[in-house]
Amino acid sequence: MKETTTHPLSQCLRRFAVAGSLCLALLGCGKSPVTKSQLSLSKEGKATACIALADSASAPEKTAAAELATYLKKVTGAEFPVVKPQELAGRPAIAVGPGAAKVLLPELDLVKMGEKGLGEDGIVLKTAGPNLILTGAEGSQRGTLYAVYEFLERAAGVRWWTHAEETVPHSPTLAVAPLDVRYKPPFLYREPFSWGIVQGEPQMGYKDSDAAVKDWAVAKFAARQRHNGHSGMLPASHGGSLLPFGWCHTSFTYLPPAKYFEAHPEWYSEVKGKRIAEPPKQGELHGRGQLCWSNEEMLGELTKVVLEHIRQNSQYGMIDVSQNDWDDHCECVKCKALDDAGGSHSASLIHGVNRVAEAVEKEFPGFLVETLAYQHTRKPPTEIRPRDNVLIRYCVIERGASQPIDSDQNRAMLDDLKAWSAVAPKLFVWDYVSNLGGPLAPHPKHHVLAKDLRTYLKHHAAGVFLEGESIGATDFIALKNYLMARLLWDPSRDESAVIDEFLNGYYGKAAPALRQVLDLYAEKASPAFLHSFNDGPNADWLDLAAMNRGTELFQQSESAVADAPEQLARVQRARLPFDGQWLRNYGRYHEQAERELIPFLGPQDPAKALADFSAAVRRASTPLDQTWMPIIQHMMEYGSGEAGWDAYFESFKQRAKTPAPLPEAFRSLPPSSVIDMDETRCLVSKPSGAKIVEDPKASNGFAMLVPKAPMPSWGVQAWSKLLGTYGGFGRYRVYVVARCELQADSGDAFVAGLYDVKAKKGLGTVCFPIGKPGVPSASHEIDENPEVLGTTRSGTPVMDGEYHLYDLGVHDLPHSQMHFWVGTTTGDLYVDRFLFVKEP
């Protein structure tokens, strides 16, 4: 098949290479005299050049000319007329687009394809006699637009900080030093999925028309930051978006179980001997089941559906055919044989995707079929390779975010990246720059982003998707967006210089103190493992000393801009996640201050601080956030709409309070020998029905409720990882303070146990019987890992519904991956706290 018949996207991926370095000469601006070597654009507020735009200019090229005229007027105060090249009559001109550029400089090489081609996004900035050339390749979608934005930023000093904030210098006299720049960004595809850059996730079949734009400020900002991914929803006037039809997790979209499962259960995954297929229910994130990727009949129907979609949407250039967003891989004989032979569950997936891609290539040469290497399919198979028209999007959700991808902490991620790089003809990377489970907590990534992008480039990734924060109150969100934009466009840039540029330009005199905050975050977070989807929103790596220092630095930054209201508001917005951390871990920090006899610089009135925090977060959450609300609130599991926000802030009331005094029996012990784990420190398992509730009988007014269940669930868990922070691992006697509202006359009031996650082994249970001292209780079937439970013994009887101290025994706790749990079958259990007392 001749290359001319292939889809342009496939050609770009095949021939993608860096065409030059981005190194721009600066302009002579302001009142400085214009030298003979410079090209004058304006003098004392009067234009000395005009903008040339060809009749044949495309919609993005017309947008580029309009943007140039608009911002040159903002900079100089001059009107810059847009004229046709044949109307110049010898006047100096800024040629915008290849049509005008070729008139003024016919020998200029503006080829799009080939090893030296500029591709869709490459740029040329060149002075030629009295003229300036700003263009992309002939026939490119976005190159000319990017050339104009690059010129305005690097040469005219324009800065777009966010979709609503910009800086435009005032320079009535403007001149260009000699320029000769030819550059193609090394990443074909660049997309941060982050607040203020994207408009949300487009529906299948999205068209890049102006009518589809939800927020023009966001669309323009995405274009100005040189992002070309799908979620920016860029209209054709701004170059359109590079996106796959369907985006991701499309298996059940193409073959919905509601339509096919009853007649064809064998098309869906077999798990533990049973075929399953359940898409997510209303309000749920995950469903059940996958496709059976080895089933030939299923692949035939899937191929038919995929081809129908391509026929109606051939402009996309690629279509996603990928697994659902959960595991449940197929264990049928054929799939298992493929996976066993390939050493990964990706083997059966690639087998099926290759079959679809083969049919796509016959009808649509060069059209790509994208699939995910994600979670259970993250490792590449050894016995099968993706076809040439299959694009692998490698996802690193299991990574540690605070260390680079080539660190020891992330060695498995790098190994799989290298392996995919060796076998995948086309490779994109899906990385994460936020904690999706706790988006309002500090989550630094600025210190590893540049190194990661350079590593991805080194291993032949042609595109990068960065999944980021989703609401405007998140951690230094404007800085993260700015840094992602600069580094995706040019990953060779000095990231430290980019950070300083943003801090100085956006925060003004507050920049030095805020830079120290970022350095503090990086220092404290780097040794920790920051998961992309933490099981809780706490930034535990910020200890009390770091919180105290951070408070001092934020106070310094606010004082520095006290007379600059706009910059002060920006500082206060950046501080919100830090303030939330004080409230979220208030009791823990307060207790640490008392134990270690160090200052506590957190809020003295937590109730007032919480009210202020709630109001500030709501102010920072603009209407733009409404697109994200269902996503963010599901991640936080607090419901949707305003009720979800109310529930989220209500949860802070459980944490933003001074810890209750220890029980009388422990007050004479050294403070460092007793570790108190109340509801702010324990894991409350919502799937079990457990929750934190107000309880006037509890020591601090709140308790962890574990509801009655047919089998004792692990509804509340106290993890040993906190011992490493406060008391050190070792030997402890462990107690639980609890009460049970008994609904039976006999049996066990509640059951407690210890589980070693690292060893995957239960280390014993204690059953606390109802009112019959000394009578051993019948052993229970526990619903988590019953086959590895240790011995069962009887504990103190439960005589009433009041709080009492129950002894769980002495235990060796040598590492962080152990937890005590409690559950009940005879009545609702209220847990006030666990107490760990260090043995001598």
Query: What's 746's domain CATH number?
Result: 2.60.120.260
Stretch 517-542: mean pLDDT: 86
Stretch 742-751: mean pLDDT: 82
Is 198 part of a structural domain of the chain? no
Helices 59-76 and 143-154 cross at an angle (nearest 10°) of 10
* pLDDT at residue 4 is higher than 80: no
**Cβ–Cβ contacts within 10 Å for residue 675, how many?**
24
Q: Considering 168, 184, 200, which residue would you say is the last residue of a domain? A: 184
The reply to whether 677 and 799 lie within a common domain is yes
The reply to whether 645 and 680 lie within a common domain is no
Is 211 part of a structural domain of the chain? no
**Cβ–Cβ contacts within 10 Å for residue 456, how many?**
25
Under 8 Å between Cβ of 163 and 23: no
Q: For 599-621, what is each residue's pLDDT tens digit?
A: 999 999 998 999 999 889 888 87
Is 125 part of a structural domain of the chain? yes
* pLDDT at residue 665 is higher than 80: yes
The reply to whether 620 and 690 lie within a common domain is no
* 370 or 284, higher pLDDT: 370
pLDDT score at 524: 96
The Cα–Cα gap between 289 and 270 comes to 8
Mean pLDDT across the chain: 87
Stretch 555-567: mean pLDDT: 98
The reply to whether 714 and 797 lie within a common domain is yes
Q: Considering 184, 216, 232, which residue would you say is the last residue of a domain? A: 184
Under 8 Å between Cβ of 100 and 58: no
The reply to whether 153 and 257 lie within a common domain is no
φ/ψ (deg, to 5) at 60: -65, -35
Q: Which range is least confidently modeled, 199-208, 286-295, 714-723?
A: 199-208
pLDDT score at 622: 63
Local confidence band at 400 (pLDDT 50, 70, 90 cut-offs): very high
Is 828 part of a structural domain of the chain? yes
The Cα–Cα gap between 325 and 204 comes to 17
Stretch 232-260: mean pLDDT: 91
Stretch 89-113: mean pLDDT: 95
Local confidence band at 9 (pLDDT 50, 70, 90 cut-offs): low
The reply to whether 37 and 177 lie within a common domain is yes
Is 629 part of a structural domain of the chain? yes
pLDDT score at 605: 92
The reply to whether 584 and 686 lie within a common domain is no
Stretch 284-312: mean pLDDT: 93
Q: Which range is least confidently modeled, 24-33, 217-226, 272-281, 429-438?
A: 24-33
Local confidence band at 77 (pLDDT 50, 70, 90 cut-offs): very high
The Cα–Cα gap between 393 and 401 comes to 19
The reply to whether 130 and 39 lie within a common domain is yes
User: What is the tally of structural domains in the chain?
Assistant: 4
In whole angstroms, what separates CA 237 from the centre of its chain? 28
* pLDDT at residue 699 is higher than 80: yes
Stretch 371-389: mean pLDDT: 97
The reply to whether 707 and 780 lie within a common domain is yes
Is 798 part of a structural domain of the chain? yes
Is 193 part of a structural domain of the chain? no
Burial 546-575 (b: 16+ CB within 10 A, else e): bbbbbbebbeebbebbeeeeebbebbbbbb
Q: Considering 360, 390, 420, which residue would you say is the last residue of a domain? A: 390
* pLDDT at residue 629 is higher than 80: no
Is 330 part of a structural domain of the chain? yes
pLDDT score at 824: 86
* pLDDT at residue 706 is higher than 70: yes
- % of the chain beyond a pLDDT of 90: 62
pLDDT score at 641: 62
* pLDDT at residue 549 is higher than 60: yes
The reply to whether 647 and 675 lie within a common domain is no
The reply to whether 646 and 697 lie within a common domain is no
Q: Which domain holds residue 115?
A: 19-184
Q: For 28-59, what is each residue's pLDDT tens digit?
A: 333 344 555 789 999 999 999 999 999 999 99
* pLDDT at residue 628 is higher than 70: no
* pLDDT at residue 103 is higher than 80: yes
Q: Which range is least confidently modeled, 265-274, 346-355, 679-688?
A: 679-688
* pLDDT at residue 623 is higher than 70: no
pLDDT score at 748: 81
Q: For 145-159, what is each residue's pLDDT tens digit?
A: 999 999 999 889 999
* pLDDT at residue 428 is higher than 60: yes
* pLDDT at residue 367 is higher than 90: yes
Query: Which CATH number is 51's domain given?
Result: 3.30.379.10
The reply to whether 617 and 722 lie within a common domain is no
pLDDT score at 627: 46
pLDDT score at 721: 85
Local confidence band at 333 (pLDDT 50, 70, 90 cut-offs): very high
